[in-house]
Amino acid sequence: MRYAIISDIHGNLQAAEAVLGLIERLDIGQIVCLGDIVGYGGDPSGCVDLIRRFCPRVIIGNHDAGAVGLTSVDYFNPAAREAVLWTDTVLSDEERNYLRNLPYEMDFEDFQIVHSTPDDPAQWKYLLVEEEAGPLFDFFNGRLLFFGHTHVPVVFRRDAEGTVHATGADDFILEKQVRYIVNVGSVGQPRDGDPRATFAVYESESEKVTFYREPYDIAAAQKRILQNDLPQMLAIRLAFGR
């Protein structure tokens, strides 16, 4: 089976459509979404509709949870908080119920998924560096965990001796006696300096993880943010991938 692993769409319909179009051309067997369908961007309902139609396996992210009252938004920065509170006002009851009932984590035959960290998924912790990654390998089974949340693609490896190494978004094949925590990056708001939408593909037979970058109509996504009177910086940052 080939899985497309996408995350952090954040109401960016143009990026979501571009990524789903590429996934269709790649003839992927299943699309898996790691959450944060909404937040920041100007098309939350459109993104929820796309994910509901094309992604059979979806978990919740902190912006999804914030938009439907499942988690506090007090810790969000002002721009993020304004966007998620606006999102709550434009979602339909059906869309809100869909988000509210998404699970926090999910197991597959070959891997597991979580939006933030596997130790306590509902606390929305950030995993950024090797020192933080090491203890988290004890909180999931199997060899491979995919996550999102930070918008920066990275691969954390723990070898048989327990040493953890971090590398960037380089394609790789799983090695024996090595376990992996993989951030697939963000579809709708990349933050690693590359503004293209980012996602990963996992091939279970070859045990290969491949990262993809897909250009999209950034100007159109920016326009939708500004049309809805959301903070200007949310539009500006899309052009810089920051």
d(CA 137, CA 160): 12
- pLDDT of res. 29: 86
Percent of the chain with pLDDT over 90: 99
Question: Tokens at residue 61, please?
Answer: 């992210």
Element (H, E) at 51: helix 44-54
Cβ of 142: how many Cβ atoms within 10 Å?
A: 13
Mean pLDDT for the chain? 97
In angstroms, the CA 24 to CA 10 distance is 21
Amino acid at 12: N
Rg of the chain taking only CA atoms, in angstroms: 17
Q: What is the pLDDT of residues 163-203, one digit of tens each?
A: 999 999 899 999 999 999 999 999 999 999 999 999 999 99
pTM above 0.95, yes or no: yes
Count of positions (residues) in the chain: 242
* pLDDT tens, residue by residue, 54-80: 999 999 999 999 999 999 999 999 999
At 138, the pLDDT band (50, 70, 90 cuts) reads very high
pLDDT tens readout for residues 139-150: 999 999 999 999
pLDDT at 204 over 90: yes
- Check if the beta carbon of residue 178 is closer than 8 Å to that of residue 159: yes
Residue 182 CB neighbour total at 10 angstroms? 23
CB-based contact 86:39 (threshold 8 Å) = no
Per-residue model confidence as pLDDT tens digits over 91-109: 999 999 999 999 999 999 9
What are the two backbone dihedrals, phi and then psi, of residue 173, each rounded to the nearest 5 degrees?
A: -110, 135
- Reference 241, options 194, 203, 198, 206; nearest CA is 194
Q: In this predicted model, what pLDDT tens digit does every residue of 29-57 receive, in sequence order?
A: 899 999 999 999 999 999 999 999 999 99
Which letter, b or e, does each residue of 100-116 get, where b requires 16 or more Cβ atoms within 10 Å of its Cβ? eebebbbebebbbbbbb
Walk me through the domains of the chain, giving residue ranges and CATH numbers: 2-239 (3.60.21.10)
